[in-house]
């Protein structure tokens, strides 16, 4: 599969690095080179953590030197000042990093973009001030000397050459673990959050929990790198853990390729070795360093490893013409969907006195409506009537100013989107909110992970069932950029159904589709009711709405002006004045039979 070939370079490359770590000490005679390689390993571990954080959240941290410093100073204080055994000091340092990163994760991960960068940068500045000022504990600007060297009975760690093996084992261990995590179901959820956090949360994923886990794990990488650094150098000082260190790591990640494990290691190697190679240039060193760095970023804006991988893919694509053929088939007819697990019976969806304000604009005003299970409902109205706002309030994306929302006997008002999805409400969007890097199968996998461990092997068969239900199995390995708008609408429905909801809020399913595709959408909506799922549809195509809905609610200026059967709505003069116009215009589309062939097995 093409999706898998892009990651095929990782393990062979890491195995080559492992072999080089075993045999290099036997061939290299210059001990100073091992000093550089040990520093490469420390930087590589920290940059791998940064890449893990970026791959999971899309966020960049300029404060990971905080955890580097906490790991180093904690092990130094515990082993020297308090005289604890080395392994006890190590465990104490790890605990300190885990606790501090967990505490910092809550405020910082609420921020996005440059706000997150500035917050983590501020944390780094604060740590530097503390390390410089708390001289009785840290030694202040003079540093902390006398940190004991590590020792192991089977390996000599007191020399640069001997420590290299430990540092390289640690680096490669973290690299292999990170690649394995990225290729796992958890890694897939991480990437889904990075690409579209709102859509992922509306699928039932606790995105905040996943982001905190990624932040703490990436901080642990930096903390362990700091522990190794402290025991290797036997001396530490505050300037080693300043803002420049965090900036240097981010630069290494960018040069190698953000989110790319192998790229992070390559970036650490290049930018650690480059100053040593330019050392002879003296005052021109910074100039040449900048020229080399800018050249790499201009020629390889995505980083070195992605650029190399792109070249490999370009050459391999020449032999894959047949595999990359026109699989973007627009399936217009239903072959007969296979049964999927039945939707949950959560009772009625009840909305009482719901009001939503955006500043001085009242988008919804005291909306009260009840949706019964087992029927197709529709919500219609002119642009700006509050239809999508109603969906957003029910899903938890928008917090209402007043009113209550109940699913059966459970009040879900104020719940986060993932808790509402777990309760039994799924969602599609007016503009399909999909993942550009994912295949069709991956989208269904994300929905299928609701309330389950994201394990590829355990969920695979269930994913196939949902793909068959929406006739997407033949497109399952294509990315969303290779399929039609009709296919994207089906993918969103499939992802929502995979979460096993009681209700699916379907926003504009007919938007941008031709008549044949809209008829197919209607059949899928009927099929959903047969597996116990209740669709609530918002759409401007009145032929589609009036053909599928058993009950229609009309919104106008944030208030309900009519509620009834399609025939009652068409005859309602208030609705005609506000939105619909003539009956002839509304019923101009063809009817779709509810008992249509192709939905009978769904």
Domains of the chain, residue spans: 7-307, 349-581
Class at the top of the CATH hierarchy for domain 349-581? alpha beta
How many CB atoms are located within 10 Å of the residue 280 CB? 8
Q: Which of 219, 555, 183 is nearest to 356 (CA)?
A: 555
Distance between CA atoms of residues 146 and 458, nearest Å: 52
Give the E-state strand segments of 484-550 in sequence order. Answer: 503-507, 534-538
In this structure, what token pair is assigned to residue 342?
A: 């039945």
Q: Which of 44, 102, 97 is nearest to 223 (CA)?
A: 97
C-alpha dist (Å) from residue 335 to 523, 545, 600: 11, 23, 10
Q: Which of 104, 203, 187, 172 is nearest to 491 (CA)?
A: 203
Q: Which of 465, 413, 500 is nearest to 204 (CA)?
A: 500
Q: Give the contacts of 498 (CB within 8 A, at least 6 positions apart).
A: 203, 444, 445, 446, 447, 448, 450, 462, 463, 466
Spatial contact of 358 and 512, defined as CB atoms under 8 Å apart: no
C-alpha dist (Å) from residue 293 to 254, 304, 396: 10, 11, 45
Residue 508 is predicted with a pLDDT of: 94
Q: Which of 73, 86, 103 is nearest to 219 (CA)?
A: 103
In this structure, what token pair is assigned to residue 525?
A: 């909506």
Spatial contact of 187 and 181, defined as CB atoms under 8 Å apart: yes
How many CB atoms are located within 10 Å of the residue 132 CB? 17
> Strand order in 361-371's β-sheet?
361-371, 349-358, 402-407, 410-411
| DSSP class of 483 | S
| DSSP class of 580 | I
Residue 323 is predicted with a pLDDT of: 40
Spatial contact of 320 and 466, defined as CB atoms under 8 Å apart: no
C-alpha dist (Å) from residue 313 to 32, 74, 478: 38, 46, 16
- Strand-strand pairing, 534-538 and 402-407: unpaired
Look up tokens 């030694």; give the residue.
Answer: 139
In this structure, what token pair is assigned to residue 106?
A: 């809550």
Please state whether 205 falls in left (phi above 0), alpha (psi between -120 and 50) or beta. beta
* Mean pLDDT (the chain, rounded): 86
Spatial contact of 337 and 527, defined as CB atoms under 8 Å apart: yes
How many CB atoms are located within 10 Å of the residue 105 CB? 19
User: For 90-149, what is each residue's pLDDT tens digit?
Assistant: 999 999 999 999 999 999 988 888 899 999 999 999 999 999 999 999 999 999 999 998
**What is the secondary structure of 173-212 as a DSSP string?**
HHHHHHHHHHHSHHHHHHHHHHH-HHHHHHTT--HHHHHH
Spatial contact of 408 and 348, defined as CB atoms under 8 Å apart: yes
User: Which residues in the chain show pLDDT less than 50?
Assistant: 1-7, 319-339, 584, 586-587, 589-602
Reduced to 3 states, what is the DSSP secondary structure of residue 360? Answer: coil
Distance between CA atoms of residues 486 and 331, nearest Å: 9
pTM above 0.85?
A: yes
What is the topology classification, in CATH, of domain 7-307? ABC transporter involved in vitamin B12 uptake, BtuC (1.10.3470)
Distance between CA atoms of residues 108 and 214, nearest Å: 13
Spatial contact of 261 and 182, defined as CB atoms under 8 Å apart: yes
């Amino acid at each position: 599969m093409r999706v898998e070939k892009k990651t095929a370079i990782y393990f062979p490359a890491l195995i080559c690095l492992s072999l080089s770590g075993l045999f290099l000490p036997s061939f290299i005679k210059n001990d100073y080179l091992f000093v550089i390689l040990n520093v490469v390993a420390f930087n590589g571990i920290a940059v791998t953590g940064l890449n893990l954080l970026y791959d999971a959240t899309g966020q960049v941290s300029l404060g990971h030197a905080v955890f580097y410093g906490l790991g180093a100073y904690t092990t130094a204080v515990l082993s020297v000042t308090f005289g604890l055994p080395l392994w006890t000091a190590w465990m104490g340092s790890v605990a300190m990093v885990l606790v501090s990163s967990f505490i910092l994760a809550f405020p910082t991960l609420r921020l996005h973009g440059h706000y997150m960068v500035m917050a983590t940068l501020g944390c780094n500045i604060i740590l530097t001030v503390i390390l410089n000022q708390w001289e009785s504990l840290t030694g202040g600007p003079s540093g902390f000397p006398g940190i004991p060297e590590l020792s192991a009975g089977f390996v000599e760690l007191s020399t640069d050459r001997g420590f290299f093996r430990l540092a390289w084992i640690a680096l490669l261990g973290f690299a292999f673990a990170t690649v394995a995590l990225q290729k796992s179901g958890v890694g897939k959820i991480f990437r889904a959050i990075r690409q579209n956090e709102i859509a992922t949360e509306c699928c039932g994923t606790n995105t905040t929990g996943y982001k905190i886990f990624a932040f703490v794990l990436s901080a642990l990488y930096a903390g362990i790198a700091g522990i190794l650094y402290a025991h290797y150098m036997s001396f530490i000082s505050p300037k080693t853990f300043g803002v420049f260190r965090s900036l240097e790591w981010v630069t290494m990640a960018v040069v190698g390729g953000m989110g790319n494990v192998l790229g992070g290691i390559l970036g650490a190697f290049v930018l650690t070795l480059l100053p040593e190679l330019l050392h002879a240039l003296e005052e021109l060193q910074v100039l040449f360093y900048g020229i080399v760095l800018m050249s790499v970023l201009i020629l390889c804006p995505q980083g070195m490893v992605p650029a190399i991988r792109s070249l490999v893919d370009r050459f391999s694509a020449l032999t894959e013409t047949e595999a990359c053929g026109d699989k973007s088939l627009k399936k217009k007819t239903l072959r007969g969907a296979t049964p999927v697990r039945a939707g949950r019976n959560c009772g009625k969806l009840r909305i009482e006195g719901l009001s939503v304000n955006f500043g001085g604009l009242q988008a919804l005003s005291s909306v009260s409506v009840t949706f019964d299970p087992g029927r197709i409902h529709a919500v219609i109205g002119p642009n700006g009537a509050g239809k999508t706002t109603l969906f957003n309030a029910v899903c938890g994306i928008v917090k209402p100013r007043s009113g209550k929302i109940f699913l059966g006997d459970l009040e879900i008002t104020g719940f986060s989107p993932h808790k509402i999805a777990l309760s039994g409400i799924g969602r599609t969007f007016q503009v399909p909110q999909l993942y550009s890097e994912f295949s069709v199968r991956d989208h269904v996998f994300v929905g299928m992970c609701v309330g389950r461990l994201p394990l590829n092997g355990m969920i695979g068969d269930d994913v196939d069932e949902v793909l068959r239900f929406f006739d997407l199995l033949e497109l399952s390995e294509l990315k969303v950029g290779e399929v039609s708008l009709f296919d994207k609408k089906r993918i969103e429905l499939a992802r929502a159904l995979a979460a096993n909801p009681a209700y699916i809020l379907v926003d504009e399913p007919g938007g941008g589709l031709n008549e044949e595709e809209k008829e197919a959408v209607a059949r899928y909506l009927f099929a959903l009711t047969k597996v116990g799922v209740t669709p609530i549809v918002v759409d401007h195509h009145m032929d589609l709405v009036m053909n599928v809905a058993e009950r229609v609610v009309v919104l106008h200026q944030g208030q309900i002006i009519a509620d009834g059967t399609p025939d009652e709505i068409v005859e309602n003069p208030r609705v005609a004045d506000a939105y619909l116009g003539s009956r002839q215009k509304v019923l101009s589309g063809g009817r779709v039979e509810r008992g249509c062939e192709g939905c009978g097995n769904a």
